[in-house]
Structure 1
Amino acid sequence: MKQMVGRARARWAAAATRYLVVLFLGVTTFSATGADAQSFTFNAVSIEGNQRVADGTILTFAGISRGQTVTAGELNAAAQNIRGSGLFSSVDVVPQGGTLVIRVVEFPTVNRISIEGNSQVRDAELLAVVQSQPRRVYSPSQAEADVAALTEVYLNKGRINAMITPRIIERSDNRVDLVFEVTEAGVTEIERISFIGNRSYSERRLRGVLETKQAGILRAVIGRDTFVRDRIDFDRQVLTDFYQSRGYADFRVQNVDVALTRERDAYLITFNVQEGQQFTFGNVSVSSEIVGADVAEFTAALRTRTGATYNPVSLENDIARLERLAIRKGLNFVQVDPRITRNDRSLTLDVEFALVRGPRIFVERIDIEGNNTTLDRVVRNQFRVVEGDPFNPREIRESAERIRALGFFANANVEAREGSSPEQVIVDVDVVEAPTGSLSFGANYNSDTGIGLLASFRQSNFLGRGQALNFQISTAETNRVFTFSFSEPQFLGRDLRFGLDLSYRTTDNENALYDTETFSFRPGFTFPVSENGRLGVFYAFDYTDLTDVAESASPIIIAEAAEGSVSTNAIGYTYSYDTRRTGLDPNSGVLLRFGQEFGIGDSEFIKTTALAAAETKVWNEEVTLRATIEGGFLSYSKGDSRVTDRFFLGSRTMRGFEAGGIGPRDANTDDALGGNTFAVARLEAEFPIGLPEEYGITGGAFIDYGSVWDVGNLRGVSEDDILYNDFTPRTVAGLSIFWTTPIGPLRFNFTEALDAQEFDNPKSFDVTISTSF
């Protein structure tokens, strides 16, 4: 018995000794004096538990080799390094005498990844944001990141209560299926967008500026009625641009309050704004610190005028004009510094455009990346500078805007960095390409031609050359049309657009006793002649024929058909002046267009067309007013016009009448003959009608006044047999409903002919709709 007690005491003493030794080593190893107090040397390394990962790979992670003397702290760091590889769920590094034992438990391999429970968002869209991949090691941290990414997808779609739960289904051979279980919940829409501090503009007008929209009846197909934080940041900027372009230089968005309703089923967004006062331009002048700069010449180049409403875009455009003028004058490294003096009493801003000497920096090179399809030259053509030119930051920013405006890229970043020396810069262009082609089949409806089917192919970046290629075939109740067009916007590397248009059309006139066949071939060039003006020159070949002419048709048409098919050659030009997009007044725009076509060869004629249109917003920009004057004149010096050449007024030119419903017509057959001259004036107003603006429905009122007349050669028919061959004006008034829908803008016109002739063909309603499916 005593022996047994003695042996027990001995074992207890030995265990206590080992415990004290371990405790001493632990205190020694991890005490405040440092982890290096204990050191180990290993002659062998034993790795246990690994199945897929090789021993050598684990040793590489550990960073310990045989015979190396390491401290306890280094052993702990080795274990952390192995864990940091993300391949193991647990790692133990245990010294056992001269052997280092590394025990690991590997993460399983992902067998497959699936999404379950989703019905409103497709699997493909969700799996696109999942970074975990099949046949890769499962990582819990990556799975958590995937849950966050999936939740963000639902958040951007307005489903803020969606829940994503990752599940692991164990399979054989240390494999798992990773399943993301989704509970989608309902859409949390934007119930109301309101403003605080707005005095000059109504909430309706300001909501129309924002990209974010309130939920409406089209919430099922309009995605802008959900809350996206990045979109709110964009809206802050567009609100600022809106006010500053209208003279409110001190405008600020103080904060945007985004709140959920108590039921968490809708957002309430409030923009707290500070408008400030509206300023106008005071004294506008130019000063120069540059030797050789003619101040008077630079002053004449300004477009900003005293008394005009302050607009930062006006300043930017004038700065660009002066800098371009300096370059044309051979004055390099000139910068324009706008010095603004504020006059709070008169609410004016005096602007002095100072010409100052900028740093001598040159463009070393332009690097373009990300354009896998688009050729480099397409991007380079948007730059007005080349390698070796003086560096102008403003020109680089404008080039970036031109690159984005191409529509070829989902994203385009242009940045400048220092080159091989402080006097050199490298311009980096990083683009992400976007789809530029489409193949569509659809249907359309037009009140003039009826229902039709169409097929079209469009490519705006053909073969990555920046060229546009369009092909379309359409068939309607009364016509069949084939069109082909091609354009090269940078012909020979210059700002010169080459265009080629082909069209073939046949008509089955329901309102006439004949059919037509036409073919047109038109190549041409278009180039800028001023900031807002462009000039186009072209050659035109036209083939026309009258077919299936009934014996009861008008004698004029029968005589014209007897001439057979006619081919004409012509050259012409078109000048256009358009400020709707580039103008300085955000509320107004002007479009002027004038063109002439000169027939040569067997038919000699002059065909002149002109259009002048203006648009402005009034009553705090709630109402849009439009005015248009349009006309045309066809005169032959050799040959005569035919029904295929003369003007007809469709509903887009003169509302309230059927196609060919007004103008000269045969008194006996009622055939519309068209006219060599037409003139139309259109006045129109568009305004809200009290419906929530998120519905996209507004009202309008219009009045049209005009006529078409002068058949020309009557081919032996008595003038008494031709109705309305002289100027006989018509007047039409009407109401419109504008509806902006996801399939395109619709317009419904309800018309009443205030002044029509007896044999005219008026109509009281028309609609234009176009859709693809």
Structure 2
Amino acid sequence: LDGNSLRSFSRVSVGSLYNAEALEKSVEEMQIELSRRGYAFATVRPRGDRNFDAHTVSIAFQIEEGPRLYIERINVVGNTRTRDYVIRREFDISEGDAYNRALVDRAERRLKNLDFFKSVKITTEPGSSSDRVILVVNLEEKSTGDFSVSGGYSTSDGALGEVSISERNFLGRGLFAKASVQYGQYARGYSLSFVEPYLLDYRVALGLDFYQRQQLANSYISYSTKTLGFSPRLGFALREDLTLQLRYSLYKQEITLPSVLNNCNNNLGTAGYFPTPQFINAGNPNNTGYGVLGCYGDGEASLPVRIGLSNGAYWTSALGYTLTYNTLDNTRNPTDGLLVDFRQDFAGVGGDVKFLKTAFDAKYYTPLVSDIVGLVHLQAGNLSSYGGYQLRMLDNFQMGPNLVRGFAPNGIGARDIGTYAIYGYGGDALGGTNYWGASAELQMPFWFLPKEVGLKGAVYADAGSLFDYKGPTGWTLTNEVNTPGCIKATQTSLGTCTGLNYDDTNVVRSSVGVGLIWASPFGPLRFDYAIPLTKGKYDRVQEFRFGGGTSF
């Protein structure tokens, strides 16, 4: 065996910081590769030679042939509910194969990650001869079904309640099924989900989602949206820390307006929609000014919202994928590791819209000193259309505290500042086709409190921007009119109106803040107070934000 041929499977390199976890994974991948090459009994042992003066360590990987052992049987004990094959399919080895400790450890880790069992332990017993070994898988089942009533409050969604029923090990076959209903002040809907983790006995997960969501108008948006969708997906484990998901999404979106913002009864493409003093003051004998008694006096939605309303429901049909790299030590409460998501969605496989949407998100956690955890969060996105398609306002990214804390939902990016804002309703967020964000955070426990209390503090700094709005800025005239902002139509050609005056200044938004994270008996809660340092002229600020909920 040429030892140098295994160098590419090492996750440690000259000059890098010593990392015991990377060393352990290097040993595992080398042993698996040796098994593939026919050295089923070989073992890899790392040996370190420390230089205390230079603060370095030299690592040598020693390969030993090892005793020849074969797996005689795999006995599964304690699975009173889970089917035998659900457990055995987590093994990359079977009866008659050469015994490989790295593959056995991997199977034990996979069984624990299923979250079907209270405990998992794989032990060995002597077989019928000296070169035979019996694997014994000792399990203790636990409840995998949940019926929950959840309640919570957030500053963007208001009071929110959810009833859900889910089963992670449906019928003992390892299937996942969930149904939930959500009802709140501003957010409502339901969803159905199903996952088959081993499609046709291959390590390929099939997921099906059906959902309906409704976001009602509130203090942050003047309109309501309703989304009805269906999404099948396939997931592949390329490596233990690298997964690929392929998906198809089909959903319908439509805009509605509260009656107070939909009472002008003027149609796009007519002279009346571009408000003149005469139109606004219709029925006002005194003609005392803009919007005093006219239909615009109680407010009106922005032009892109009105266009979306007049065009009716849109169907989006998209193919997409997500590539995920995950080395987190704990997915629920990470303290070390890297989580990277790269996703793209290509809309235009049928449907009414055509765009390519790309998003990148990376989080890096690292332990520092005295239980202090550092977090660096980077994110970016791009949206582009093709085939002459005019992007809708709903296609654009909408950002707020999810990008830079200290700003309101839909609080940053392009905003309507046009003529209509005079009459009291303007200021709708229009979104953007590009965004970027960077955040640095320190999370630390309160040393004067017991750990059981579950309180942590956080300090952070955020920066980012959302810009480059691409959406409706005017409409096509359907009859011959001559109003400000319009090009007069003729009998042979339609005219146009610009109609939208908006601010899309690309400025860096930034903020600093403090947070309180509480793993409370009522569920996870987080409170944030952030102060914007730089912002756009028309951005909306929300310095305090909190959210949380519970199940019982």
TM over 0.5, shorter chain: yes
Unaligned runs of 5+ in 1: 1-292
Normalised by the length of structure 1, the TM-score is 0.58
Cα distance change on mapping 1:313 and 1:700 into 2, 3 Å: closer
- 2:223 pairs with 1:510: no
Q: Distance in 2 between matches of 1:381 and 1:729?
A: 51
**Structure 2 counterpart of 1:636, which letter?**
S
Per-residue deviation, 1:746: 2.1
Check conservation: 2:165, 2:178, Cα contact below 8 A: yes
Query: Comparing both structures, which one devotes a greater share of its residues to helix?
Result: 1
- 2:191 pairs with 1:483: yes
> Can you list the C-alpha shifts for 1:462-494, whole angstroms capped at 9, x where unaligned?
111112222221111111021222222222223
In structure 2, what is the equivalent of residue 629 of structure 1? 378
Q: Distance in 1 between matches of 2:22 and 2:409?
A: 44
Q: Distance in 1 between matches of 2:507 and 2:318?
A: 31
In structure 1, what is the equivalent of residue 236 of structure 2? 527
Check conservation: 2:390, 2:472, Cα contact below 8 A: no
Per-residue deviation, 1:742: 2.9
Aligned-pair Cα RMSD in Å: 2.6
- 2:438 pairs with 1:681: yes
Cα distance change on mapping 1:689 and 1:377 into 2, 3 Å: closer
Check conservation: 1:338, 1:353, Cα contact below 8 A: yes
| SS state at 1:322 partner | helix
Per-residue deviation, 1:510: 1.3
Cα distance change on mapping 1:474 and 1:299 into 2, 3 Å: same
Q: Distance in 2 between matches of 1:424 and 1:319?
A: 24
Check conservation: 1:448, 1:651, Cα contact below 8 A: no
Calculate percent identity across the aligned residue pairs: 30
Check conservation: 2:390, 2:471, Cα contact below 8 A: yes
In structure 1, what is the equivalent of residue 458 of structure 2? 700
**Structure 2 counterpart of 1:700, which letter?**
A
Cα distance change on mapping 1:466 and 1:650 into 2, 3 Å: farther
In structure 2, what is the equivalent of residue 425 of structure 1? 133
Check conservation: 2:319, 2:346, Cα contact below 8 A: yes
Q: Distance in 2 between matches of 1:356 and 1:712?
A: 63
Cα distance change on mapping 1:588 and 1:371 into 2, 3 Å: closer
Check conservation: 2:393, 2:471, Cα contact below 8 A: no
574-583 or 504-513: bigger deviation: 574-583
Check conservation: 1:663, 1:725, Cα contact below 8 A: yes
Which of 730, 740, 751 matches 2:509?
730
Cα distance change on mapping 1:332 and 1:758 into 2, 3 Å: closer
Per-residue deviation, 1:434: 0.4
> Can you list the C-alpha shifts for 1:658-712, whole angstroms capped at 9, x where unaligned?
2222222222222222222222222222235563343433332222222223331
Q: Distance in 2 between matches of 1:300 and 1:705?
A: 38
381-390 or 624-633: bigger deviation: 624-633
Cα distance change on mapping 1:507 and 1:582 into 2, 3 Å: closer
Check conservation: 1:559, 1:715, Cα contact below 8 A: no
Q: Distance in 2 between matches of 1:396 and 1:437?
A: 28
Check conservation: 2:91, 2:104, Cα contact below 8 A: yes
- 2:427 pairs with 1:670: yes
**Structure 2 counterpart of 1:538, which letter?**
R
Q: How many residues align?
A: 478
Q: Distance in 2 between matches of 1:349 and 1:555?
A: 65
Per-residue deviation, 1:461: 0.8
In structure 2, what is the equivalent of residue 555 of structure 1? 303
Per-residue deviation, 1:312: 4.6
Q: Distance in 2 between matches of 1:294 and 1:354?
A: 12
Write out aligned runs for 1:183-332 (5 A). Answer: 293-306=1-14, 312-332=20-40
Per-residue deviation, 1:443: 0.8
**Structure 2 counterpart of 1:652, which letter?**
N
Cα distance change on mapping 1:606 and 1:364 into 2, 3 Å: same
Per-residue deviation, 1:447: 1.5
468-477 or 311-320: bigger deviation: 311-320
Check conservation: 1:467, 1:486, Cα contact below 8 A: yes
Per-residue deviation, 1:652: 3.1
Q: Which has the higher contact order (CA 8 A, sep 6+)?
A: 2
Cα distance change on mapping 1:687 and 1:768 into 2, 3 Å: same
Per-residue deviation, 1:455: 0.4
| SS state at 2:395 partner | coil
> Can you list the C-alpha shifts for 1:434-455, whole angstroms capped at 9, x where unaligned?
0001101121111210111110
> Can you list the C-alpha shifts for 1:250-280, whole angstroms capped at 9, x where unaligned?
xxxxxxxxxxxxxxxxxxxxxxxxxxxxxxx
Which of 354, 368, 379 matches 1:604?
354
Q: Distance in 1 between matches of 2:34 and 2:93?
A: 14
In structure 2, what is the equivalent of residue 764 of structure 1? 543
Cα distance change on mapping 1:729 and 1:311 into 2, 3 Å: closer
| SS state at 1:317 partner | helix
Per-residue deviation, 1:656: 1.4
Write out aligned runs for 1:402-441 (5 A). Answer: 402-441=110-149
| SS state at 1:298 partner | helix
Cα distance change on mapping 1:686 and 1:628 into 2, 3 Å: same
Unaligned runs of 5+ in 2: 263-299, 476-484, 486-497
Q: Distance in 2 between matches of 1:433 and 1:310?
A: 38
Per-residue deviation, 1:356: 2.0
Cα distance change on mapping 1:441 and 1:740 into 2, 3 Å: closer
